[in-house]
Amino acid sequence: MASDSLSTGFLTHLKLQQPKPKKERKSFSLGPNNGLNTHTNNGKPKAFSPSLCSSNKYSLVVTKFSSSAAETAVPPPVALGVGEIKEKCKKWLWKGQFSISYFISHPHEEEGKQESGSGSNSNPPLLLVHGFGASIPHWRRNIRTLAQNNTVYAIDLLGFGASDKPAGFSYTMETWAELILDFLDEIVQKPTVLVGNSVGSLACLIAASESSQSLVRGLVLLNCAGGMNNKAIVDDWRIKLLLPLLWLVDFLLKQQGIASFIFERVRQRESLRNILLSVYRNKESVDDELVEIIIEPTFDQGALDAFVSIVTGPPGPSPVKLIPKISLPVLVLWGNEDPFTPLDGPVGKYFSSLPAKLANISLFVLDGVGHCPHDDRPELVHEKLLPWLAHLPASLS
């Protein structure tokens, strides 16, 4: 989940963007002679209307692969049980002192015929990186589908899930990026496609900007955050209005007694449920299991320190400074009803502009989807992600 959802939502449950009425889902792809085709729910191409070019909503949805790839049928996702995920999680000692929880699923291992040698091993492994407040089980609706053709890793960042939450630790985006790169180097040991949501996306982006192609093979960003917290997005008029409140939040959270009181209020089940309902657009996805995924790690020792450090800490590098360093293939998926990184905000506008400027970046806007597309509407994410993975070049030169 986004850090901003807890830094502002727990006080005001602020919604920066009101839900929009359901519309026919549309996407665009490059057709013959580079003409744009429009695709609707039934997958049939429609003539592209020039009038749509002037619409911000439609003109920003451009892909770099063929329409046939975009129309690939994807079966409905089958979620892994949270208990099953926990049982299979392993521990990795990072820097000789921090215990990091991770999960791995190989292609076809559920059928008892895990592939080795050729075949699936030619496909790059994937590393799933959660957002603020989430953990490995937040990918429960994606792992089984993605592991059909790729080895899938998922990790709990330091301070979250079942990973260590060291007392007094100063969390930064750069620390998480370093953790990701060390994990690739020590555990995965193959060029990997990084898949992140929210601040997890930003951590992946920082890692990719600092890595060699021997570690990172591609990048998938799901509603990428502009920073570790809202202080990064100072040029959004909505954030400017909230700056006094954000400064007050920072001040209050640095008072131990007040911070503890606020944290207790935030992690109440109904409070968390209300925050999640403001972030998700498919309300059926906000079930008891999701609430438990978010709330359980908050009772770990060090969880309060992590919460305070992340909400009050430095926002970290901006995507605007990182993207020019990236030559890898990048897929950007964006829920168009995200109240925390909205399409009409500075971060959303920036990513929306990229496909027209950079050939390595593909972008899809997902209609009727909130801040966590992979869990909100996993089938829409898989519909775009699986063909993109299938079309990755065999090697990068």
Answer whether 219's CB lies under 8 Å from 326's CB. yes
Give the pLDDT confidence of 47-101 residue by residue, as tens digits: 323 222 333 333 344 443 333 334 455 667 889 999 999 999 999 999 999 999 9
Look at residue 360 and tell me if it is in a domain: yes
- Are 13 and 279 within 8 A, CB to CB? no
C-alpha angle 184/63/56, rounded to 5°?
A: 115
For residue 6, what pLDDT band results from cuts at 50, 70 and 90?
very low
User: In this predicted model, what pLDDT tens digit does every residue of 278-287 receive, in sequence order?
Assistant: 999 999 999 9
Q: Cα(199)–Cα(171) distance, rounded to whole angstroms?
A: 12
How much is the pLDDT for 23? Answer: 41
Pairing mode, strands 90-94 and 126-129: unpaired
Closest CA to 365 of 44, 60, 22: 60
Does residue 200 lie within any of the structural domains?
Answer: yes
Nearest C-alpha neighbor of 325 from the set 218, 215, 214, 208: 208
Domain that holds residue 348: 82-110+121-391
Asked if residue 247 is part of any domain, the answer here is yes
Query: Collapsing DSSP states into helix, strand and coil, what is residue 183?
Result: helix
Rounded to an integer, the average pLDDT of 126-145 is 97
Please indicate, yes or no, if residue 303 is contained in any of the structural domains: yes
Cβ(353)–Cβ(361) below 8 Å: no
**H-state helical runs in the chain:** 3-7, 9-12, 50-53, 56-59, 67-70, 82-88, 143-146, 173-183, 199-210, 237-253, 256-266, 269-279, 288-295, 303-312, 319-322, 346-353, 373-376, 378-390
Nearest to 165 by CA among 17, 340, 306: 306
134: exposed, middle or buried (C-beta count within 10 Å: 0-12, 13-18, 19+)? Answer: buried
116 inside domain: no
Q: Is residue 192 part of a domain?
A: yes
* Residue 218, domain member (yes or no): yes
- Closest of 190, 195, 196 to residue 215, by C-alpha: 190
pLDDT at position 194 over 70: yes
pLDDT in tens, 147-192: 999 999 999 999 999 999 999 999 999 999 999 999 999 999 999 9
Residue 48 lies in a domain: no
Count Cα atoms within 13 angstroms, Cβ side, for 186.
Answer: 14
> How many distinct structural domains can be found in the chain?
1
**Element (H or E) spanning 17, and its range?**
none
pLDDT tops 50 at residue 116: no
Q: Residue 310 sits in a domain of what CATH number?
A: 3.40.50.1820
Rounded to whole angstroms, the Cα distance separating 333 from 335 reads 7
pLDDT category at 14 given cuts 50, 70, 90 is very low
DSSP code per residue over 78-114: -PPPHHHHHHH-EEEEETTTEEEEEEEE-TTGGGT--
